[in-house]
Structure 1
Amino acid sequence: MNQSTISQEQVIENLSNKSNWVRLVYMLIYGLALHIAGIIMWLLCTVQFVITMIFGQDNENLRKMAATISDYIHEALAFVSYNSEKKPFPFAKDDAKEPDDSTTSNTHDAEGDDVHENTSAKAKDEPVTIDVEPQAVEDAPTDLPDDKKASDK
């Protein structure tokens, strides 16, 4: 038997913890969602099989939809099994939103490419330089007509 024993007060405290009961409600909702997602997944797999048998190749849109549902099932199962505290759709907090901060000068995406640039704050602090490549300019004629030469003098 375990060396650590649980007292009756600890059990009562655990049973009266509101967050455990709220999680149970979420788990029941996600259990229902998992059941529905499983049915949809079986339907997609069946349709994909039929399409492959008829046309000789799978449907890319159905494959992407199945991958999305598979990801959702994984997230929901991780939450229900206590492997994650992150709630999936529809109760997920939107972590993808970035604060709209107008003081930032550059925002980079995952590959480091510039997504957008705010030049209003930058223009006050630093001079703006513009790199211009020299363009080929046709040489102007060196011999002007005689009447032009005379008028210039």
Structure 2
Amino acid sequence: MSDINENIKSEKQWLRGLFMILFLVVYEIAEMVLVAVTLVQFLFSIITGSNNANLRQFGDSLAQFAQQTIAFLTYNSETKPFPFADWPQASRRIAEDEQDEQQAPPTTGS
């Protein structure tokens, strides 16, 4: 019973709870940004016939941010995500795909 009382009175627990509420709100905003990025990327691909590399990189870093946020919210990480840590960089895979596209010869339409 005394452990429960100590946990209830623990400033560390309540502070983490406040951060969790903050990151729940931030996660909801990130979901709205995801919808916007998805729509803009789709429109870009409809208009130009290819995707936008900058949006792909941002989308990848946004996905990493979401993963970091979920890990914090579910107690799988004690590391607070952005803005308490650096914004995640796009993965190497995205950069390699981008280089491959730049090196590929242009295709001719049929």
| TM > 0.5 | yes
Pick the aligned partner of 2:69 from 69, 76, 82: 76
One-letter identity of the residue aligned with 2:65: Y
Partner of 2:15: 22
CA distance, structure 1, for counterparts of residue 63 and residue 5 of structure 2: 38
Q: Give 1:27 shift.
A: 0.5
Partner of 1:54: 47
Partner of 2:79: 86
One-letter identity of the residue aligned with 1:62: L
2:39 is the counterpart of 1:41:
no
* Rg (Cα) greater in structure: 1
> Which structure ranks higher in relative contact order (CA pairs < 8 Å, sequence separation ≥ 6)?
2
Runs of 4+ in 1 over 3 A off after TM superposition: none
Q: Give 1:92 shift.
A: 2.8
Deviations 1:40-60 (A, max 9, x none): 011100110111112111010
CA distance, structure 1, for counterparts of residue 45 and residue 85 of structure 2: 35
How does the TM-score come out when normalised to structure 2? 0.74
Unaligned runs of 5+ in 2: 87-110
Aligned residue for 1:90, secondary structure, equals: coil
CA distance, structure 2, for counterparts of residue 84 and residue 69 of structure 1: 18
What is the identity percentage for the equivalent residue pairs of Structure 1 and Structure 2?
33
Unaligned runs of 5+ in 1: 1-7, 94-153
Higher strand share: 1
CA distance, structure 1, for counterparts of residue 53 and residue 5 of structure 2: 53
